[in-house]
Amino acid sequence: MAYLSEHGASRPDNKVEDRSHSSYVTRTFTNHIAGTTDVNPYWALYPTGNKLDIKLGYDITDYHKRKARGELLPYTTWVNVRQTSLDLEGYLTSNYNKTGASTTTEYSPNDGGPFLFAYHEGTPYPYDTGVLNLLDDWINERGINPALYVQTAASALYSSGWDALTFLSEFHKTVQLVRSAINRFRDLLANFEQYYSRLSKAVKVRKTVSALLQEWLEFRYGWRLLVYDIQDINEALKGLKEKSRTRNKQRVGSNFSWVDDMSTFREYGSSTQTYTDVRHVDLSVRGSIIADFVPAEISINPFITAWEVIPYSFVLDWFWNIGQSISAISFLTLNTQYTSASGLYCDVHRIASLDLQWKTYFSGTWKQEVNQEYTIIKRKPIPVSITPMFNNRFDIPKAIDLLGLLDGFFRGALRNWSIR
């Protein structure tokens, strides 16, 4: 096993920003009793231009020469934050009227940009390091593990051939499956009238459900897997006639979407303020691997077969990727050298606004709106892990599988069960 790790030299800062003007808030305080007015900049904000494209990466020494020589080059760290749109509008005017006192405080951005409160509740500018930290928080809160996808890619690369040993160990079941199907079809043709008569009569629902569950399992873990084996055999035979590449790559991934409500509530002497800040997030997670490794067209791995033939091992794989980790270990044992990395592609649409309730003696007008879209791309080199990881793949078809397994385990309990 040889994992290629080369940090590379940091690139010079690569930032494209619209700095044609600065956005700031002017605070104007008027004392109507004293007849005085004070004007001063209240807070300086970032530039409000829409153009924003920031890149952070590392360059490998003599990259082009080494690539031309056919050298396998490692993945390097890459971060790209790109703002695609930003629309801002905000102002605030508060009046204080009490016996013996009358004042007006006005916060007015010079270009219609956000005022102070929006800035404090979460800057709308995505190139803050806080935005990258926010992305990490999102994936941690949702149990998204990028290292899992790197391991999956390694497993998929290793397992791309036909698993001959597992097929042979289960061959007697395949023969039984085909023989049973032939016998059932023969009986159906020979006794069609009898079958039709049975179907036309009232049958117990529980017996029908039990039978359907067993037919479902036969399809899912019999015929469906047999079709996959036939496809793998054809691909293996085809691959034997072709010259395999000595360098191969694999990439796997998943997509996620959610809404993150980051709204906050604050209280001041003049008002209570609810700052609504909602992020609509679309995230793609990928695991990639490139290796000087030729997957076997026909593989014989006793460790994988031993796991496959354990009863109900596939149920454990619904939640913990034990079989996948065995394939990853096999990959690491056999390959010459490899490089791997996780990738995150995140699109964020942010909508924010302010709702304000005045306290006694205070009144005024306000508006605060932020509509923003930006993208975060992040690549991180990660070696292949051999540790089994939690990976919940339970879904509706597997729920039906589980019902069928339980019914079969209790010897057709649904057929004998009665609610009377």
Q: Residue 187: count other Cβ atoms within 10 Å of its Cβ.
A: 12
Who wins on pLDDT, 417 or 143?
143
Structure tokens at 320: 């913990």
Taking only the tens place, the pLDDT of each residue in 302-353 is 777 777 778 878 788 888 888 889 888 888 888 778 999 999 999 999 888 8
Query: Whole-model pTM?
Result: 0.71
pLDDT at 379 over 70: yes
Q: What is the pLDDT of residue 117?
A: 47
3-class secondary-structure state, position 49: coil
| Residue whose tokens read 């035979």 | 237
Contact 111, 20 (CB under 8 A): no
Who wins on pLDDT, 1 or 367?
367
What value does the mean pLDDT take over residues 138-157?
93
H or E segment and range at residue 88: strand 78-98
Q: What is the pLDDT of residue 197?
A: 55
Q: What is the pLDDT of residue 396?
A: 80
Who wins on pLDDT, 239 or 291?
291
Q: What is the pLDDT of residue 413?
A: 44
What value does the mean pLDDT take over residues 163-178?
56
Domain ranges of the chain: 133-416
Q: What is the pLDDT of residue 119?
A: 40
pLDDT at 144 over 50: yes
Structure tokens at 20: 């044609």
| Window from 92-96, 107-111, 140-144, 285-289 with minimum mean pLDDT | 107-111
Across the chain, mean pLDDT equals: 76
| Window from 87-101, 138-152, 174-188, 303-317 with minimum mean pLDDT | 174-188
Contact 135, 80 (CB under 8 A): no
Q: What is the DSSP string of 278-334?
A: EEEEEEEEEEEEEES----SEE--HHHHHHHTSTTHHHHHTTB-HHHHHHHHHHHHH
Instruction: Give the CA dihedral 216, 222, 223, 225, nearest 10 degrees.
Output: 120
Contact 368, 297 (CB under 8 A): no
